Structure 1
Amino acid sequence: MKSVLDFLSDLGRNNQKEWFDANRSRYEDSKTKVLFFTEIMIQAIRKFDPEVPPLSPNDCLFRIYRDIRFSPDKTPYKTHMGSFIAAGGRKSSRAGYYIHIEPGNSFLGGGIWCPPADQLKAVRWEIHDHPGDFQEILDDPEFNRYFKSIEGEKLKTEPKGFDKDFEAIDLLRYKSYAFGVPVTDQQVVGEGFIDFATSAFTQLHKANRFLNSALDKWA
């Protein structure tokens, strides 16, 4: 994976079409390596999460091309590579597992990021009805080895339709129910990265199972 980090680092300094075209073989090589790692993770995750079907890594890997139509930043390429593993691949609306490879900013994560209103409401109601079950996941020492807190923005007040005096109202204020653990460049290129990612995602499955159950129940 060192060559992947090297390519992305160079891309960050030369984010233009001419440079990318001249280095397309490096991009293709990096893409192949990330797809291979994604395939390994798909097989590992399927051993403990029966919801994840046989997936093509190509369906999980996000495009490196940025959508610049409505962005003031017109650089054409992302300076990271990422894969989302869940039923439906990168287009999934389910809670899943995310691999993010970026020099100095790699991480493993997942859950549900910025879900649409109906899905967010479903998760909130499930937490409302089973706050102890969800808190137990968040407080699990093995889970906490990797995932310290829910990530993303929070409402300043209670969400519409929920009692502000509810005992676990703070858990309902999140706009996402996502989790992440940073990984260093040394970890990404190290021999133990597969084992680390597998262990992290095994723990993340506890949260994903709760979140996907909420989506199914309140659909």
Structure 2
Amino acid sequence: MIYQESIDFLKDLAENNNREWFAVNKERYDKARENVIDFTAKVLEGVRKIEAGMDENLDAKKCVMRIYRDIRFSKNKAPYKNNFGVSLPTSGLKGGGVEYYLHIQPGNSFIGGGYWMPEAPHLKAIRQEIDYNAADLKKIIDDKEFVKLFGDFRKQEQLKSLPKGYEPDNENLDLIKLKSFVGWHKLTDKELTQPGSEKTVIDMCSRIHPLNVFLKNALA
């Protein structure tokens, strides 16, 4: 489980996002990060049973993202993120493709999956897969349990214009115009800090697994 001390550290960091405070509280950060790594290792073990094709060299420590922000081109000069992000790629060792993603932030944690903002070649392939096999995707995202857990898949950000190569009367245009293909489920602090919370996260990953399968098939 995620310790309450880890949640409290993130709360305090959000209120004291500066290098001086972080230096004084570095030991708290190290303990919180180690807690997240241990939690990730347990989740990863469970997800491997769902995603048989995951890279065997995928390491929990490398799945936990850096807490340091790149502020070079940002108006927000806060040096640290106020969350722990965990990327579990379904193939390879790097995130950013079809993956599961765990976001740990006081009052704003969630577990999600799918493909966020695919690069152009992947976006084209996914759109083509939807055009050819929309019924398969609809069976997944319109399932009552999926909608209950992850909401309306179609309400993600869409293109305002018509994607090149598609006609305005395409019956699946609401899916083809999507910029991302993800589902996410909010997790409360209480859910994360209770014993066995890794099982809750693993269960959510199993529920979103069919979506990831569809997306991976599109890119195969």
With the length of structure 2 as denominator, give the TM-score of the two structures.
0.93
Q: Distance in 2 between the 1:192 and 1:144 partners?
A: 24
Aligned to 1:148: 151
**Offset, 1:93:** 4.1
Aligned to 2:127: 124
- For 1:180, the aligned partner's letter is W
Asked whether the 8 Å contact 2:111–2:186 carries over to 1, the reply is: yes
Q: Distance in 1 between the 2:177 and 2:107 partners?
A: 30
**Offset, 1:119:** 0.6
Aligned to 2:7: 5
Asked whether the 8 Å contact 2:96–2:116 carries over to 1, the reply is: no
- For 1:77, the aligned partner's letter is Y
Q: Distance in 1 between the 2:192 and 2:170 partners?
A: 42
Aligned to 2:82: 79
Q: Distance in 2 between the 1:7 and 1:93 partners?
A: 27
Asked whether the 8 Å contact 1:158–1:172 carries over to 2, the reply is: no
The farther-off stretch of 30-39 and 136-145 is 136-145
For residue 159 of structure 1, the aligned residue among 163, 170, 191 is 163
The farther-off stretch of 164-173 and 141-150 is 141-150
Aligned length: 215
Aligned to 1:41: 43
**Offset, 1:161:** 1.3
Asked whether the 8 Å contact 1:155–1:175 carries over to 2, the reply is: yes
Task: Please say if 1:64 is aligned against 2:64.
Answer: no
**Offset, 1:19:** 0.6
Asked whether the 8 Å contact 1:46–1:53 carries over to 2, the reply is: no
Q: Match of 1:165, SS? A: coil
**Offset, 1:153:** 1.6
Task: Please say if 1:202 is aligned against 2:206.
Answer: yes
Q: Match of 1:85, SS? A: strand
Q: Distance in 1 between the 2:148 and 2:169 partners?
A: 31
Q: Distance in 1 between the 2:164 and 2:50 partners?
A: 36
Q: Match of 2:110, SS? A: strand
**Offset, 1:145:** 3.6
Q: Distance in 1 between the 2:34 and 2:15 partners?
A: 22
State the identity %.
40
Q: Distance in 2 between the 1:190 and 1:34 partners?
A: 14
Q: Distance in 1 between the 2:177 and 2:204 partners?
A: 25
With the length of structure 1 as denominator, give the TM-score of the two structures.
0.94
**Offset, 1:110:** 1.5
**Offset, 1:178:** 1.2
Aligned alpha-carbon RMSD (Å): 1.3
Deviation beyond 4 Å, 4+ runs, structure 1: none
Asked whether the 8 Å contact 1:106–1:184 carries over to 2, the reply is: yes
**Offset, 1:141:** 2.8
Aligned to 2:108: 105
Gaps of 5+ in 2: none
Q: Distance in 2 between the 1:138 and 1:31 partners?
A: 34
